[in-house]
Structure 1
């Protein structure tokens, strides 16, 4: 029975990610999520104490999946660190762009909204995005070591600047309904890594 409960909880979180990546957090009711997950109404509070606790769990699940994917990309065998980093940004461009992101752009979609609504969700976002920057810093340091990149400044500062730039470019791509800001981010990323 615990496996089924875990599956049900995960189904709720997955459905929420899909819906909220399109509509945002505040615009989505719990009933809509439960209906999409095929879960009875009364089940929600068995898994989550409140919508806030649910939102925090959703963000943590999102980042766990995101970080696992990032770890795979940054560990791809047979590539230089620079190639791995550029594969990450290329994947971002493809999955975070103007079209349907299918649950893959929660940090972009919900970042500003939930940071003002919920301290628990803000902290989950902060922890998740910090973990991404940590991994980017490690990849930049690996690129310096293998000679595939050169940078001005520290790996940490560049990792943070690149992540911030890509988040901003993703928001601008949504605002303009044009992928141009992500193309610009790709060009500037290559310049900053001296590729």
Structure 2
């Protein structure tokens, strides 16, 4: 089942649906999302969001009390998009569980190849790193995206263990976290090298990881 899994592909559609009767608030959320991704949370000022959204300052404060409130709402939409995108692939029970995980990342990689500049790819990770202890609610909301991804992949690994594909001695959550950490690292290297080669290296490492974890039964 092929589809564009990039978070940007439907994140604005989700915002549109949630705020279809509130175009001003929608413009604020969209502008904030783009600015947070490009400049970071701390690098983005409320005045920049207001200017990008094309609304008066009073309109911003009618809907939000702070920049943090906008960030929390945007992260909730991002989380919803990620969950919907993953479920399409990871809940496709016509495939074996490991093939579903491989398909998930294969389609991510395909999306990167089709578009040389990949915006919004690790939005939650960047927001979590920036938030630190100063903005615990943002950090928690961003980390929830990670937890959702981990649990979805972990469930596939557990299913594979139930089928005797993966050795039961391996912790499914630890394997899932290892995959996510490797993927995040590959994204950083891709941005640094301006090449998709790190993503293919990740794909090989992931498959070898599961090969080594296969059941000896």
TM superposition score normalised by structure 1: 0.82
Q: Which residue of 2 aligns with 1:153?
A: 170
Give CA deviations for 1:94-127 in whole Å, capped at 9, x if unaligned: 4568943233430244332233542111111122
Q: Which residue of 2 aligns with 1:88?
A: 104
Q: Which residue of 2 aligns with 1:111?
A: 128
> Is contact 2:31–2:53 with CA below 8 Å preserved after alignment?
yes
Q: Which residue of 2 aligns with 1:52?
A: 68
> Is contact 1:108–1:170 with CA below 8 Å preserved after alignment?
no
Match of 1:165 among 182, 188, 192: 182
> Is contact 2:28–2:49 with CA below 8 Å preserved after alignment?
yes
CA distance in 2, matches of 1:43, 1:17: 17
Shift of 1:39: 4.1
Q: Name the larger-Rg structure.
A: 2
Shift of 1:144: 2.8
Shift of 1:133: 0.5
Kindly tell me the number of residue pairs found equivalent between the two proteins: 192
TM superposition score normalised by structure 2: 0.75
Runs of 5+ consecutive residues of structure 2 not aligned to the other structure: 1-18
Residues 100 and 73 of structure 1: CA distance in aligned 2, closer, same or farther (over 3 Å) = same
CA distance in 1, matches of 2:35, 2:98: 34
Q: Which residue of 2 aligns with 1:28?
A: 44
Give the secondary-structure state (helix, strand or coil) at the position aligned to 2:78: helix
Runs of 5+ consecutive residues of structure 1 not aligned to the other structure: none
Give the secondary-structure state (helix, strand or coil) at the position aligned to 2:132: helix
Q: Which residue of 2 aligns with 1:176?
A: 193
Structure with the larger RCO, 1 or 2 (CA within 8 Å, 6+ apart): 1
Q: Which residue of 2 aligns with 1:13?
A: 29
Residue 75 (str. 1) matches residue 98 (str. 2): no
